[in-house]
Amino acid sequence: MKTPSITLILIATTILLVFNTAIAQEHRTGLLTPDVMPDWVQKSPPIKLIAAYDDSCDHSDHFPPVGNQGGQGSCVGWATAYYYKTYQEWEEHGWDVTSTSHQFSPAFMYNQINGGVDQGAYFEDAFKLLCDLGGATQADMPYTSSNYTNLPEEEDYLNGINYRCQEFYYIDVYAGLDDLRNHLLNGHAAVVGIDVYSNFDYISSYNNTYCVCEIYGSMRGGHAVTFCGFDDDRVTSDGVGAFKLANSWGTGWGDSGYFWMSYEAVQDDTLSHGCAFYTIDFIDYEPSLITRFQVAHDDRYAIQYLFDIFNPSGGFWERAFFDWYMEPMAAVANPAANIVLDLTDGAGTLSPAEINTIAMQCHDLNIGNGLTGSIEYFSAEEFIWPANAVSPDPPVAIPDDGSYVCADLELIMPGEVTLTLTPHSPPIVIPSGGGSFQFDLEISNTTIFAYIIDVWTDVTLPDGTLYPIAIRENVDLSAGGIIVREDMTQFVPPGAPTGTYSYNAYVQDHITLELLSEDSFPFEKLPGADSPNHNFGWTLDGFDGEEAPIYPHPSSFVLHPCNPNPFNPTTAISYQLRAASFVKLVVYDVMGREVARLADGWKSAGSYEVAFNASELTSGVYFARLTTASGFQQTQKLLLVK
């Protein structure tokens, strides 16, 4: 009679083991532990309370809805990005964490730090990613358990930068629990690694509490979970006191996805990995310097990047990206899309008075596997000056020998040339009998380039027409330089018309004729001595700190008749400009078709002569037309006789 009983027990045990194994296989783990803590991880300083001690706290109301990693070993992405980072940004913004726009994507994290295989990831890489890249939201890059190698799109990288962290730390919970409890009481969360035994898989049978004294079965892997609270008075099988944590196995597991872990278990090296990780967040963060680049390579996890910023004065900054603790495990191709990285931490190296160089270096860690690639694109954008540049170097081949290759670009603060007029004792009123006023003129150059400039002044008369005053040409303006002329005196003749004037000054590039800056101020002339002939007496003193004459402009715009006319095949066409202007001088045939363009661009005030060569044209009548930006237009008839 004993044999059937033993048989039934064996059958029942076998069924239970199969059932247990099947249940366990439904839930993936995925936390890897480094042999040596990387040097970029800092030990937490002592954490002080910001308020009175409380014997419990629970932040789970502000955690996102419990998620499920499914059959993927992405628990690190769930614990660190989805739970921890989502809650951290809730601390800053107080927003709705049920919205996917406010939940941070496990895929953005896991897919970049898993080495190309679905075998888990390291906390150390996850927090480095948060500090280097930030995090994309679930709305930008939704999680799918069936894909672990999709990379973020360009906009995902860019949006993620706003959620970067400053630095990250670990709390040694083996040494004590006070810092962890204080950290939670200060309103924060943390993540921790545990080892999974069967009493964790079936935690609902253990009052949803993970305890040392209840361990059974074999350890089937490391797992990442997130602290959200604690209770000093909670009674467990290990004793009194437990932490509350979020898991990534869905709401059907544990207490709707949450569980407790006894204080003893958190400090026991059989169940706990002993380190609680947290970061210091950037608040209201916006980048000031970013890079966009594209690399074509069939082994993307093997490519490491190094960015340098330097200038002639010796300023230097350098940072490595994608240099994970995780080694490249599988060859996966880069998509044909830009990666965006934040270089703001090095922006302080940029010098506005110099040519700054930004260099992108990269090399292949998997030497000799026959896979090569190239840097296809590299640019940088600075948002404060602002300035941007694209490297002329790509494509740059990336060899399969581990050597570094480089593309670089030059980033220059654009700066500007600025002219400023400052009148003395405004408002300026000139009596009927004429008079004068004084003003200061300043021209500043905040660029790194020297200019040769032209400077001139004119007045806008009460009827809206311009009257030229004076011009200085071929003036040297050094890089970063400034020209200041104080107490300049402008005389106004008695015959100047009554009314309100505008006194104008301009500066242009003498070489390119580009108008660089202009300024003006008003003045008034009282009635009593108006004269239609007011061309005398508009004298300006003081431009060069001496009474050297300042050559006047022509008094009007004029297109003179060509000489000779009739002509064969060349003639000279002259014109004069009373003020600097955008000028077009075009020759048309009798059908109105353009046959020659002799001037097209900015010209300073003065007299000009150009040659018109009609050797390729047939005999006949042609018309030369001068037009200016102010609306002036004049036409002269030309007769070509061959």
pLDDT at 556: 64
Task: Tell me the three state secondary structure of residue 105.
Answer: coil
Q: Is the peptide bond before 554 cis (omega within 30 degrees of 0)?
A: no
Kindly report, residue by residue over 536-576, the tens digit of the pLDDT.
578 899 876 443 334 444 556 788 888 898 999 999 998 98
pLDDT at 529: 66
pLDDT at 536: 59
Query: What's the confidence (pLDDT) of residue 22?
Result: 45
Average pLDDT, integer, range 456-472: 89
In sequence order, what DSSP letters do the residues of 400-438 get, joined into one string? TTS--EEEEEEE-----EEEEEEESSSSPEE-TT-EEEE
Nearest alpha carbon to residue 335 among 141, 82, 611: 141
Q: Reduce the secondary structure of 473-524 to three states and give it as a string.
A: EEEEECCCCEEEEEEEEEEECCCCCCEEEEEEEEEEECCCCCEEEEEEEEEE
Alpha-carbon distances, residue 582 vs 276, 559, 602, 631 (angstroms): 68, 15, 4, 10
- Report the pLDDT value the prediction gives residue 11, as an integer from 0 to 100: 41
Q: How far apart are CA 482 and CA 471, in angstroms?
A: 18
Q: CA geometry: angle at 215 spanning 214 and 219, to 5°? A: 160
Domains for the chain: give ranges and CATH numbers: 31-152+165-281 (3.90.70.10), 289-411 (2.60.60), 417-541 (2.60.40.3880), 558-640 (2.60.40.1930)
Q: Cβ atoms within 10 A of the Cβ of 550, count? A: 18
pLDDT at 415: 80
Is 413 within 8 Å of 327 (Cβ atoms)?
no
| Average pLDDT, rounded, for the chain | 91
Asked if pLDDT for residue 225 goes beyond 70, the answer is yes
Pick from 169, 139, 132: nearest CA to 153:
139
**SS3 at position 63:** coil
DSSP line for 229-257: EEEEEEE-SS-EEEEEEE-SB-TTSTBTT
* pLDDT of 16 strictly over 80: no
Lowest mean pLDDT among 44-48, 434-438, 635-639: 635-639
Q: Map residue 306 onto helix, strand or coil.
A: strand
Query: What was the pLDDT predicted at 2?
Result: 38
DSSP code for 218: -
Length of the chain: 642
- Contacts for 51 with CB less than 8 Å, ≥ 6 apart: 185, 186
> For the ranges 46-60, 93-107, 350-364, 418-432, which has the lowest average pLDDT?
350-364
- pLDDT confidence of residue 313: 86
Q: What is the pLDDT of residue 554?
A: 52
Band the pLDDT of 7: cuts 50, 70, 90.
very low
Neighbours of 204 (CB within 10 A): 12
Tens of pLDDT, residues 610-621: 999 999 999 888
Element (H, E) at 597: strand 594-603
Confidence of residue 5 (pLDDT cuts 50, 70, 90): very low
* Residue 375 clears pLDDT 80, i.e. is over it: yes
Residue 382: φ, ψ to 5°: -110, 125
Whether the pLDDT of residue 49 is over 90: the answer is yes
pLDDT at 535 over 60: no
Cα–Cα distance for residue pair 326/125, rounded to 1 Å: 7
Task: Report the candidate in 187, 92, 72 with the shortest Cα–Cα distance to residue 135.
Answer: 92
For residue 226, list its beta bridge partners.
246
Lowest-pLDDT range, 132-136, 371-375, 564-568, 584-588? 564-568
d(CA 289, CA 429): 50
**CA atoms of 372 and 363, how far apart (whole Å):** 10
Residues 70, 196: contact at Cβ < 8 Å? no
In this prediction, residues 365-386 reach a mean pLDDT of 95
What does residue 167 show for φ and ψ, rounded to 5 degrees?
-160, 165
- Confidence (pLDDT) at 470: 87
Distances (CA, A) of 623 to 239, 571, 584, 587: 104, 13, 13, 5
Which helix (H) or strand (E) covers residue 364, if one does?
Answer: strand 356-364
Average pLDDT estimate for 280-290: 97
- Note the helical H segments in 186-235: 198-201
pTM for the structure as a whole:
0.71
Contacts of 375 (CB under 8 A, 6+ apart): 293, 294, 295, 360, 362, 393, 394, 395, 396, 398, 405, 407
Specify the pLDDT at position 511.
Answer: 86
Span 381-424, pLDDT tens digits: 999 989 999 999 999 999 999 999 999 999 998 888 999 999 99
Residue with tokens 């614990």: 79
Query: Which backbone phi and psi does 132 adopt, to 5 degrees?
Result: -85, -45
Pairing of strands 606-613, 190-195: unpaired
> How many CB atoms are closer than 10 A to CB 77?
33
The percent of residues in the chain predicted with pLDDT above 70, rounded, is 93
The mean-pLDDT minimum among 52-56, 71-75, 385-389, 590-594 falls in 590-594
d(CA 543, CA 552): 13
Say how far apart CA 460 and CA 496 lie, in whole Å: 12
CB 145 within 8 A of CB 110: no
| pLDDT at res. 558 | 84
Residue 494 structure tokens? 């008695």
Q: What is the pLDDT of residues 187-210, one digit of tens each?
A: 999 999 999 999 999 999 999 999
Asked if residue 65 has a cis previous peptide bond (ω within 30° of 0), the answer is: no
Yes or no: say if 488 and 611 are a contact pair by the CB < 8 Å rule: no
| Residue 230: strand pairing partners | 57, 243
What is the structure's pLDDT at 26? Answer: 66
Opening angle at CA 5, ends 4 and 6, nearest 5: 90
